[in-house]
Amino acid sequence: MRNKKQQENHTLNPTPYQQMLPFDVGVKIETTEPVRLMLDLTERLDYNALHASYDRQPRQTEANPKQMFQLVILGFMEGVTSTRKLESSCKHDIRFMHVLQGKPAPDHNRFWSFIKHRLQGEVVENLFYQLVDYLLEMGEIDLANVFIDGTKIEANANRYSFVWKKSTNKYEARLNIKISDMLKELNGRYLLEIPSDASIRECMEILSTLAKTQNITFVYGRGKRKTQLQKDIETLESYLTRKTKYTTYNKTFRDRNSFSKTDTDVTFMRMKDDHC
């Protein structure tokens, strides 16, 4: 148990870590750090459109919209795009702390909401064009010439989202053969006269009418025995789904050879290690 003198000494001599941390973390940031240039540029922007996107303005103790924008920009500059990593950087990186000016670090949910609902449409375009105008005034960029960079960089994205035109045409041709063969089987199995150019929907309607005339009830679930007629109709339904998918793909291709399922405006370039 400490005596009174030891307690007094402990009170008068706090831990050295409390004396080492500067009041303004900005003094630890070098003048050549990109964060200083970023702050200099973004402080000049007009944020009225961004403020207008809020139903309720953040409290004074919270990071304001301008600071949230600056934190996101700084994150992208440093390769920090995850909202959880942005939150962590605000707690441990003095450059992010300097932007916050002593305010608490926003959590990852607030970062997600800000990027998803605030930095969208006209708001982000307005900020971008303002930034371009300032860079133009500073002489950092010149709009006299426009250059298109042909550099190809492999994206860190889902490699299974691609759709190739050549593969689609191949699978669609195989499906057409299966449909043609099935029409012949249906005509022989049920003594029908379905024309060879009949659509899948027309075939399904004919078989559905046949099921009604024969009072056939469709069954589902385990332990239920399906009739051949029900199996044939379900097979045609699967063919129709695939046929519709290939038709949609061909419309999306337009004059391209590929596209992404998650972003149809994107085209792919074949790589040596493609899983296709």
Q: What is the pLDDT of residues 88-112, one digit of tens each?
A: 999 999 899 999 988 999 999 999 9
Residue with the bigger pLDDT between 140 and 182: it is: 182
Say whether both 56 and 130 belong to one domain.
yes
pLDDT of residue 149: 75
pLDDT of residue 169: 95
The total number of structural domains in the chain stands at 2
156 falls within a domain: no
Helix (H, G, I), strand (E, B) or coil at 259: strand
Q: Which of the four pLDDT bands, split at 50, 70 and 90, describes residue 115? A: very high
Say whether both 174 and 245 belong to one domain.
yes
Give pLDDT tens digits for 144-174. 877 777 777 666 667 678 899 999 999 999 9
Contact by Cβ (8 Å): 97, 23: no
274 falls within a domain: no
Lowest mean pLDDT of 12-16, 62-66, 228-232, name the range. 12-16
Say whether both 17 and 115 belong to one domain.
yes
| Terminal CA-CA length for the chain | 72
Quick one: tokens of 2?
């400490």
Dihedral sign computed on CA atoms, order 237, 238, 239, 245: positive
pLDDT of residue 231: 95
Q: How buried is 83 (Cβ within 10 angstroms: 0-12 exposed, 13-18 middle, 19+ buried)?
A: buried
pLDDT of residue 26: 63
145 falls within a domain: no
Q: Which of the four pLDDT bands, split at 50, 70 and 90, describes residue 17? A: very low
pLDDT of residue 57: 79
Say whether both 192 and 83 belong to one domain.
no
pLDDT of 43 above 70 = yes
173 falls within a domain: yes
Q: pTM value?
A: 0.48
pLDDT of residue 18: 52
Say whether both 199 and 243 belong to one domain.
yes
Say whether both 12 and 58 belong to one domain.
yes
Say whether both 174 and 71 belong to one domain.
no
Please provide the average confidence, as pLDDT, over all residues in the chain. 85
240 falls within a domain: yes
* Of 219, 239, 243, nearest in space to 229 by CA: 219
Residue-range definition of the domain harbouring residue 182: 162-260
Say whether both 124 and 185 belong to one domain.
no
